[in-house]
Amino acid sequence: MRGRGVMNAPIEENLKAVKCVGMETVVVAPDLTIDHVHQARERIRPYIHNTPILTSTYLNEQIGAELFFKCENFQKAGAFKVRGACNSVFGLTDEDAASGVATHSSGNHALSLSYAAGRRGIPCHVVMPKTAPQAKKDAVLGYGGLITECEPSTSSREAVFAEVQEKTGAEFVHPYNDPRVIAGQATCSAEMLESVEGLDTIVAPIGGGGMISGTCLTVSNLAPQIEVFAAEPLQADDAARSFRSGRIIADDSPITVADGLKVPLKENTWHFVSHYVADVLTATEEEIIGAMKLTWQRLKIVMEPSCAVPLAVILKNQDVFRGRRIGVVVTGGNVDLDRLPWMK
């Protein structure tokens, strides 16, 4: 399995390294192995759910494929990101954990890191956009996280975060550009491969690329015959443009209903996208909302707009997916029930 993106050499040289407990050397994305995934599974097992797989005869018949939905909306903290957060937090030495952890996030990583930090009994400092859904802000506060707000742009998020980290001295856990996080997210697809036999395709959303990177890490080692497709909002399509140009293209403040997919790729996630993703497909705002509503109606589950993008691109590209056995990652279910996208 190999993507069509072309690795940018200067980026490869600047991959971010982090120390991981149980790893003898400093690890960067290309050094991650399936052993790191196995270690992550054992480390996070007490703190997460092995989430269920749901199917829909109706959707299978509409698309002409077999779809298996991995429901991370039923996960602790309501999103897959608790996997990477727990792997990072519980992988810290006592010395590194003493000042707590810090991050910047539009929501799900923020509340997941707050959950993990709370389980370990350490502080969690979070920089969140002012426009983040109130439901996600409330969840962060409920888990004991400390929020500092920023403007809804990558530049503001990173600038405000730098101030918070300097003030607190907390350990930075990046939402996705962190090998500890990628190894944690990889446990989701590892569970999926154990639950469903004969998959030939996995489709997951892409923003910064943490879930896609983890999926590629697992699949490339355990089931390299499986094709991994990334699904992205057309109005925040920097990953698709990066994939086709062979270099990272970053938009500063895209506007999309899929609020969890607004952030750009970084060096560690670009490694996996450029080497292992089969294609990055996009969907319009209307297609995303339609897929979200259809999932609520047919699967009877709560999912957020970002999670609807995979189904939206499958419905849009039925000629690509017809006849396949497809794992679809439903990445989270943290929605503001008073501001659903189909409400007027």
9-80+178-330 is classed in which CATH architecture? 3-Layer(aba) Sandwich (3.40)
For domain 81-172, is the CATH number 3.40.50.1100? Answer: yes
Residues of the chain with CATH 3.40.50.1100: 9-80+178-330, 81-172
In sign, the C-alpha dihedral spanning 183, 184, 190, 192 is negative
pLDDT tens, position by position, 225-234: 999 999 999 9
pLDDT in tens, the chain (344 residues): 545 443 333 334 345 555 555 444 447 888 999 999 999 999 999 999 999 999 999 999 999 999 999 999 999 988 999 999 999 999 999 999 999 999 988 778 999 999 999 999 999 999 999 988 787 888 899 999 999 999 988 789 889 999 999 999 999 999 999 999 999 999 999 999 999 999 999 999 999 999 999 999 999 999 999 999 999 999 999 999 999 999 999 988 899 999 889 889 999 999 999 999 999 999 999 999 999 999 999 999 999 999 999 999 999 999 999 999 999 999 998 888 888 999 86
Give pTM, 2 decimals: 0.90
- Quick check: 213 and 272 in contact, CB under 8 A? yes
Helices (H), the chain: 9-13, 34-44, 57-63, 81-89, 94-97, 108-120, 134-142, 154-168, 179-195, 210-222, 238-245, 267-276, 285-299, 305-316, 318-321
| Among 129, 68, 122, 128, residue whose Cα is nearest residue 100 | 122
- Quick check: 217 and 272 in contact, CB under 8 A? yes
Mean pLDDT (the chain) is 91
| DSSP string of 269-284, one letter each residue | HHHHHHHH-SEEEEE-
pLDDT tens, position by position, 11-35: 343 455 555 554 444 478 889 999 9
